[in-house]
Amino acid sequence: MKASGKLQRSHQNIVLAAPVSVPYQRKTTQPASYFIGTALRGMLTAAGLQKAECDGLMVSSYSLAPDTVVSLAETFDISLNWIEQVQLGGASGIIGVRRAARAVAAGDAEVVACIGGDTYIPHQFAGLLGRFSNFTIDGVTPYGCGGASVPFALLTRAYMEAYNVDREDFGRLCILQRENAGAYRQALLRERLTMQAYLSARPVSDPLGLFDCVMPCAGAEGVLVMQEARAQSLGIPYVNLLASAEKHNASGGTVMPLTFGSGYYWRVSNYRCWRGCICDSKCKDNSSQANAFM
């Protein structure tokens, strides 16, 4: 499989197993390490492994700082051969699993725990937004910052104008997301959302309303990455990781949210869609922007 002229080697015999979700909480006094540790314990229990048998750890957390994955190794009293800390937002899970798979394939680790976990303590979250990047520290916060919703609103407005879409189009996305959450018993927001409720919700930053915004919360998700033979010996269910790709600043020189998925990356990825795909007409050539398949 090729992408951008570079061979994307398959993850032969690498599997994901023992997925665990730590129930989400709207507010908590527990630190991020509590939720990450709870996920780790749950995965090891599900796989029938002892703590000493996990020799790799990948963590993604915005609220763990100033602690690091090294700090967690000491906190959990676990000796690790391979560690990774991925701070790449919503892409962190796929990227973390991909790198863990490479580590297992290379023999750097035998069992890697991949965990995304955060806490939500309101006053700490406000501080995180103000220190999100040097740009926010120097160029946004001193002039009065409306939080992440403001730049997202500007991007949404630009997208609406560029592609002739309206609020109802974005409303359909939110309604489907809520419908999907309704089937997940640990989701915090499971009540049915109607278009009327979406359109009449409290405005946040035009054109965004209340239901366009992510609700911060505490919780964790995790999965173990290992060789297929190891999972079989443990007698646990697993899924195979077939392929993946990782590319940063893929549409350099453009406004990423206005171009991602609509041109360049479709050509780069050229992956076969999954059965039952409901993507748009670009799928007629069996290609998709997804960058990991299991």
Domains of the chain by start residue, with CATH: 2-120+217-244 (3.40.47.10), 145-212 (no CATH)
In this prediction, residue 25 carries a pLDDT of 92
In this prediction, residue 279 carries a pLDDT of 43
In this prediction, residue 259 carries a pLDDT of 59
The residue-averaged pLDDT of 45-58 equals 97
Between the alpha carbon of residue 268 and those of residues 90, 128, 229, the distances in Å are: 20, 34, 32
pLDDT exceeds 70 at position 269? no
Q: What value does the CA radius of gyration of the chain take, rounded to a whole number of Å?
A: 20
Report the alpha-carbon distance of residue 51 to residue 137 in Å, rounded: 40
ω into residue 19 within 30 of 0, thus cis? no
In this prediction, residue 209 carries a pLDDT of 96
Cα end-to-end distance, the chain, whole Å: 15
pTM as predicted: 0.79
C-alpha count within 13 angstroms, C-beta hemisphere, residue 177: 13
Query: Does residue 98 contact residue 59 with C-beta atoms inside 8 Å?
Result: no
Query: Does residue 55 contact residue 81 with C-beta atoms inside 8 Å?
Result: yes
pLDDT exceeds 50 at position 276? no
* Tokens encoding 78: 């676990």
* 1-21: pLDDT as tens digits: 444 545 455 688 999 999 999
pLDDT exceeds 80 at position 283? no
**How confident is residue 280, by pLDDT bands cut at 50, 70 and 90?**
very low
* 192-251: pLDDT as tens digits: 999 999 999 999 999 999 999 988 899 999 999 999 999 999 999 999 998 888 888 776
